[in-house]
């Protein structure tokens, strides 16, 4: 079955054609990131307008690249929550319009569940149940996943999402938007042990997250020092911040696996591209004998291939 996937939950306008949930025939992603840069974060109105202007051409490109015709599509999968409401509506309206005019079924897909499908596209041997870790600009969630329609939330952020923390710290350090790639780059030549930023674990055994404290710590650290001194230490600040955030995520992810006695961890979302996070998660999972899976680099960020893939599995 060929599935058309549509994703417009935040700042990426994306359409994909995927066969049987695994063979990605096309995955077109057009980001409005450059338009948000001057504001240091996603501006909903700009994102929505970008989707509305580009959705038709992105879908057309997805068909052209796949070599498939609309008449061959058996199902349309569209992200229907969570996300910016106006942005979601553009994708949902497009999906409904195509579905109605061509007599094709359509189904709504949860964006977080789709992120956890991204690693499954390349790793068909992943078996249920698994622990899912979503680390993105809007979410930080640990989930127990028992099936393609069976997700149980175990923990989530109580304030900032992890990607949001990267973005806010980058703003404090004048590194531009999005913050994740900029901080990772700086951190590569910094000392992660140099500054002891807090690792907020919340109550004993909790699987919830909190990243606003560390962001404030970085702000306090910067405000107490002269601009020149901060500039000299920016690599160490980035490395120490990244290390603290990664330590918390690693500890809680392993804890979730151990609590539920599950030896598979599946990671998804924009922050899952971070090499320090990948490295430390892999290390910890090796010690605890947990099999860990990440998305391929092209499927970490928001994209419609993961939406089409999960739509197929849920429909099946």
Binding site for Zn ion (CB under 5 A): 136, 302
Residue 206 annotated as lining a ligand binding site: no
Q: Does 29 bind ligand KG4 (CB under 6 A)?
A: no
Given ligand KG4, Zn ion, none, residue 44, with its beta carbon under 5 to 8 Å by kind, binds none
Q: In angstroms, what is the minimal distance from the CB of 305 to Zn ion?
A: 13
Q: Please count the residues of the chain.
A: 316
Burial of residue 223 (CB within 10 Å: 0-12, 13-18, 19+) is exposed
Q: Does 110 bind ligand KG4 (CB under 6 A)?
A: no
Backbone phi and psi for residue 208, each to the nearest 5 degrees, phi listed first: -80, 165
**DSSP labels, 41-80:** S--HHHHHHHHHHHHHHHHHHHHHHHT--GGGEEEEEEEE
Backbone phi and psi for residue 203, each to the nearest 5 degrees, phi listed first: -70, 160
Residue among 87 and 273 whose Cβ is closer to ligand KG4 = 273
Q: Does 97 bind ligand KG4 (CB under 6 A)?
A: no
Q: In angstroms, what is the minimal distance from the CB of 181 to ligand KG4?
A: 5
Sign of CA dihedral 249, 31, 76, 61: negative
Q: Does 44 bind ligand KG4 (CB under 6 A)?
A: no
Backbone phi and psi for residue 290, each to the nearest 5 degrees, phi listed first: -110, 135
Using CB under 6 A, pick the residue from 155, 269, 295, 309 that binds ligand KG4: 269
Residue among 81 and 193 whose Cβ is closer to Zn ion = 81
Residues 133-172 that bind ligand KG4 (CB under 6 A): 136-138, 163-164, 166-167
Residues 270-299 that bind ligand KG4 (CB under 6 A): 270-271, 273-274
DSSP state of 20: T
Strand order in the sheet with 140-147: 150-156, 140-147, 130-135, 264-268, 291-293
Q: Does 87 bind ligand KG4 (CB under 6 A)?
A: no
Using CB under 6 A, pick the residue from 7, 80, 160, 184 that binds ligand KG4: 184
Q: In angstroms, what is the minimal distance from the CB of 276 to ligand KG4?
A: 8
Strands (E), the chain: 2-7, 12-19, 23-31, 73-81, 105-110, 130-135, 140-147, 150-156, 264-268, 291-293
Residue 184 annotated as lining a ligand binding site: yes
Annotated binding site for substrate: 134-138, 167, 180, 184, 274
Contact positions vs ligand KG4 (CB under 6 A): 10, 136-138, 163-164, 166-167, 178-181, 184, 269-271, 273-274, 301-302
Annotated binding site for Fe cation: 111, 115, 302
């Amino acid at each position: 079955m060929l599935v058309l996937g549509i994703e417009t939950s935040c700042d990426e306008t994306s359409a994909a054609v995927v066969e049987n949930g695994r063979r990605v025939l096309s995955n077109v992603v057009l980001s409005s990131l450059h338009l948000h840069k001057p504001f240091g974060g996603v501006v909903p109105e700009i994102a929505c307008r970008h989707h509305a202007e580009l959705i038709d051409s992105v879908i057309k490109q997805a068909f052209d690249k796949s070599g498939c015709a609309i008449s061959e599509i058996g199902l349309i999968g569209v992200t229907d929550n969570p996300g910016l409401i106006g942005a979601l509506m553009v994708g949902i309206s497009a999906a409904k319009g195509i579905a109605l005019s061509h007599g094709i079924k359509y189904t709504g897909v949860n964006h977080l569940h789709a992120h956890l499908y991204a690693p499954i596209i390349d790793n068909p041997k992943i078996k249920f149940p698994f622990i899912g870790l979503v680390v993105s600009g809007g979410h930080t969630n640990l989930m127990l996943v028992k099936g393609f329609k069976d997700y149980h939330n175990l923990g989530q952020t109580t304030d900032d999402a992890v990607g949001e923390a990267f973005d806010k710290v980058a703003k404090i350090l004048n590194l531009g938007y999005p913050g994740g790639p900029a901080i990772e780059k700086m951190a590569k030549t910094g000392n992660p042990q140099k500054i002891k930023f807090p690792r907020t674990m919340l109550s004993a055994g909790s699987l919830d997250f909190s990243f606003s404290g560390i962001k404030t710590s970085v702000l306090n650290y910067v405000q107490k020092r002269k601009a020149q001194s901060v500039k000299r230490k920016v690599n160490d600040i980035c490395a120490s911040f990244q290390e603290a955030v990664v330590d918390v995520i690693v500890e809680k992810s392993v804890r979730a696996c151990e609590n539920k006695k599950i030896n598979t961890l599946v990671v998804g979302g924009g922050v899952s591209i971070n090499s320090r996070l990948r490295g430390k998660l892999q290390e910890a999972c090796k010690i605890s004998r947990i099999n860990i899976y990440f998305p391929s680099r092209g499927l970490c960020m928001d994209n419609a291939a993961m939406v089409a893939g999960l739509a197929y599995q849920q429909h099946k």
